[in-house]
């Protein structure tokens, strides 16, 4: 092996062009992974890690959309600098590289590609072991896997990818503005952190400012009441110090469970968060177009999951798929679990982690018109826009897979991406798009077997939905690469539609009349929200926003078992042993008719007809559907092979899927009949 196992390079990699958008590549580590183990035709892989230095010209038209870039400090050449962490995995032998980069836009600084596509360990910051690399699918495909930091406020934990960006300043000194934090309090607590999910918050600029207002309310849209100022204060993390650190609030008497608390406060020194969009753009453009790049490729495919799926929709909307030279940046995108959302990625005092769910992080600028790629008019405001309206030519657009689970239809307004904004008619995908619905799945794959019982008036149910859709994402990525590189037609779109009766208003959902089973009071809805007169310039002046009317939302219809129709129906749905709901209610908490973020519900079928009769369960029993285990397994194998034929499953994964089906059978017939007293004994 020509490379040493570990090589530290404390020098910048040369970059061609004095005005390159990536002005330096500082490689701090270069190592061969897994001792040089080969991955099929691609051979051994290497890892590069270090920093990318970006150089942005505020006068460049491609950068004009970056809020406050012109207010950032500049170097002597008039350009703005930023620095991002990066990591690359690529074949050691350049001749074995496929020339395709999979750039994962890192979700909150993490790395999802290896667990999602390779079946590796979850969210490992520095992949180094055989378990981290799983079965090596990405490597066997010869892909260059690239991660680059884009988010300035990720938590302070080792290994997370970060982008360091400058602070914007006004002509007369520091900039100030309104920032908002909120919390759903379900348990007694006296101190609350201003940052979302441990992210770095904007500290309060002046704790005694009269514009710092804390309110409480009993529900999502319930009236707010102001919490008197003498009942809370800015304090340190444990609330013991009287001195304010500006990043936490403390209530000596405690914050009352059952309330939503919301703080609007004045902060200063906004970071130029929109540089994150340019960092992703310029990293990919550098890899594609600069021959001096240590990770040069011919094609680029972006992957975003959840937060970063929304990032990619925002990236598209604001025209970032065209670089400073007018060239297409990404040739393909796999946008997973974004629903109809964008995000808090490019405005003054942006908080990229805030996501606006049905019952957490309320009313942040996430679910905003336009929602679909097609340009259309909002019948109320008269505004006409589309997600890709900024592009002068279709040649500048990537080929896109929009992939959502059932949860995104309930929790992320996903129906708006493929229906007219009035909710009355379907919109077909554009020529460069495919839309896929992973029927019945929750936002992520729940571990198997389930352990948290969720009894429904005698019927056994479990919190969390274990439907495994990662096998579909593996297949879809391979098909997207084939579409981008070889122009092979991808699998047909598969999603619920109004015209087919599989996309319905929430009140039309035909759930089985299972005792104790209630549906959410409402799916997540998107509002016509007013963030103040400065919003068109990326400045929020009204917090919380004024909410006008909601856009119509539809959800997938279900079959007699309660499983979703109109999408990719995996073996768990096509050959069922259970009902897989993509949503879960807040049982035992305030507002129990509202949904838990991200998670679904797993309700095994009655094992026997006697079980069904005893529990008044209208669903068919397992014994009535399958004469024996062998018949069930044959049906599961046939369903798996049908998915392969349609392009939604790889041939190599058929055995995995059938083995998993056998596990489901053995577990279900053993545990689904147990009384609730055995809670937690599912293993």
Residue range 193-203, pLDDT digits in tens: 999 999 999 99
Angle at 382 between CA 377 and CA 386, to 5 degrees: 35
Position 672 scores a pLDDT of 74
The pTM (predicted TM-score) of the whole model is 0.96
**What's the rounded Cα separation, in Å, for the pair 549 and 196?**
27
C-beta of residue 635 within 8 angstroms of C-beta of residue 626: yes
Position 243 scores a pLDDT of 55
Sign of CA dihedral 668, 114, 134, 29: negative
- Taking the CB of residue 157, how many other CB atoms lie within 10 A of it? 11
pLDDT at residue 683 tops 80: no
Pairing of strands 384-385, 376-377: antiparallel
**What's the rounded Cα separation, in Å, for the pair 233 and 240?**
11
pLDDT at residue 9 tops 50: no
Q: Which of 449, 518, 517, 514 is nearest to 678 (CA)?
A: 449
pLDDT at residue 245 tops 70: yes
* Phi, psi angle pair for 463, to nearest 5°: -75, 130
Instruction: Give the containing element (helix H, strand E) for 62.
Output: none
**What's the rounded Cα separation, in Å, for the pair 549 and 589?**
28
- Reported as a single tens digit per residue, the pLDDT across 429-450 is 999 999 999 999 999 999 999 9
- Reported as a single tens digit per residue, the pLDDT across 150-201 is 999 999 899 999 999 999 999 999 999 999 999 999 999 999 999 999 999 9
- Reported as a single tens digit per residue, the pLDDT across 116-144 is 999 998 889 999 999 999 999 999 999 99
115 secondary structure, DSSP code: I
Could you tell me the maximum CA-CA distance found in the chain, to the nearest angstrom? 81
Beta strands in 443-565 (DSSP E): 462-463, 503-504, 527-530, 546-550, 555-556
Radius of gyration (Cα) for the chain, nearest Å?
25
**What's the rounded Cα separation, in Å, for the pair 681 and 447?**
14
C-beta of residue 217 within 8 angstroms of C-beta of residue 223: yes
Position 457 scores a pLDDT of 86
Q: How confident is the model at residue 456 (pLDDT cuts 50, 70, 90)?
A: confident
pLDDT at residue 560 tops 60: yes
Q: How confident is the model at residue 333 (pLDDT cuts 50, 70, 90)?
A: very high
Q: How confident is the model at residue 540 (pLDDT cuts 50, 70, 90)?
A: very high
């Amino acid at each position: 092996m020509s490379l040493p196992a570990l090589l530290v390079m404390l020098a910048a990699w040369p970059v061609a062009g004095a005005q390159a958008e990536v002005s330096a590549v500082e490689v701090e580590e270069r190592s061969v992974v897994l001792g040089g183990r080969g991955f099929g035709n691609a051979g051994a892989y290497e890892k590069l890690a270090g920093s990318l230095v970006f150089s942005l010209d505020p006068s460049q038209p491609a950068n004009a959309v970056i809020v406050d870039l012109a207010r950032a400090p500049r170097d002597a050449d008039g350009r703005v600098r930023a620095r991002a962490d990066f990591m690359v995995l690529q074949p050691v032998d350049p001749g074995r590289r496929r020339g395709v980069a999979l750039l994962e836009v890192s979700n909150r600084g993490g790395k999802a590609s290896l667990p999602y596509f390779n079946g590796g360990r979850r969210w490992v910051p520095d992949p180094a072991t055989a378990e981290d690399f799983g079965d090596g699918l990405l490597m066997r495909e010869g892909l260059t896997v690239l991660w680059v930091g884009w988010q300035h406020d990720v938590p302070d934990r080792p290994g997370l990818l970060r982008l360091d960006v400058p602070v914007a300043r006004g002509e007369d000194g520091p900039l100030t503005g309104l920032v908002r934090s909120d919390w759903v309090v379900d348990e007694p607590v006296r101190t609350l952190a201003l940052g979302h999910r441990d992210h770095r918050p904007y500290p309060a600029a002046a704790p005694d400012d009269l514009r710092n207002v804390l309110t409480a309310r009993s529900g999502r849209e319930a009236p707010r009441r102001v919490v008197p100022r003498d009942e809370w204060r800015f304090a340190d993390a444990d609330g013991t110090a009287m001195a304010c650190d500006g990043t936490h609030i403390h209530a000596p008497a405690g914050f009352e469970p059952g309330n939503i608390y919301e703080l609007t406060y004045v902060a200063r020194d906004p970071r130029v968060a929109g540089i994150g969009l340019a960092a992703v753009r310029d990293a990919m453009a550098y890899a594609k177009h600069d021959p001096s790049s240590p990770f040069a490729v011919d094609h680029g495919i972006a992957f975003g999951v959840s937060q970063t799926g929304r990032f990619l929709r925002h990236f598209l909307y604001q025209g970032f798929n065209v670089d400073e030279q007018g060239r297409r940046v990404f040739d393909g995108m796999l946008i997973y679990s974004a629903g109809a959302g964008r995000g808090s990625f490019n405005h003054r005092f942006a908080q990229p982690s805030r996501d606006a769910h049905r019952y957490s992080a309320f009313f942040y600028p996430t679910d905003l018109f336009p929602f679909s790629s097609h340009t259309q008019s909002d019948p109320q405001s008269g505004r006409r826009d589309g997600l890709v309206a900024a592009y002068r030519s279709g040649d500048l657009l990537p080929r896109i897979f929009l992939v959502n689970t059932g949860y995104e239809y309930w929790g992320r307004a996903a129906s708006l991406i493929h229906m007219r904004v009035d909710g009355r008619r379907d919109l077909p995908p554009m020529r460069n798009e495919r839309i896929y619905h992973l029927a019945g799945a929750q936002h992520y794959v729940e571990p198997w077997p389930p352990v948290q019982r969720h009894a429904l008036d005698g019927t056994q149910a479990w919190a969390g939905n274990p439907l495994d859709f990662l096998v579909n994402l593996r297949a879809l990525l391979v098909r997207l690469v084939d579409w981008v590189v070889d122009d092979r037609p991808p699998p047909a779109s598969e999603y619920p539609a109004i015209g087919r009766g599989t996309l319905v208003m929430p009140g039309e959902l035909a759930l089985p009349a299972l005792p104790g089973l209630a549906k959410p009071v409402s799916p997540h809805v998107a509002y016509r929200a007013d963030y103040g007169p400065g919003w068109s310039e990326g400045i929020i002046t009204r917090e919380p926003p004024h909410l006008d009317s909601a856009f119509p939302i539809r959800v997938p219809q279900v079959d007699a078992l309660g499983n979703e129709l109109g999408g990719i129906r995996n073996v768990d749905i096509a050959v069922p042993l259970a009902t897989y709901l993509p949503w879960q209610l807040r049982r035992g908490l305030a507002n129990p008719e509202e949904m838990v973020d991200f998670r679904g519900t797993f309700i095994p079928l009655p094992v026997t007809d006697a079980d069904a009769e005893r529990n008044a369960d209208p669903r068919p029993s397992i014994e009535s559907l399958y004469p024996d285990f062998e018949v069930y397994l044959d049906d599961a194998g046939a369903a798996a092979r049908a998915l392969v034929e349609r392009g939604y499953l790889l041939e190599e994964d058929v055995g995995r899927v059938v083995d998993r089906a056998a596990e489901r059978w053995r577990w279900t017939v053993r545990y689904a009949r147990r009384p609730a007293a055995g809670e937690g004994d599912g293993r």
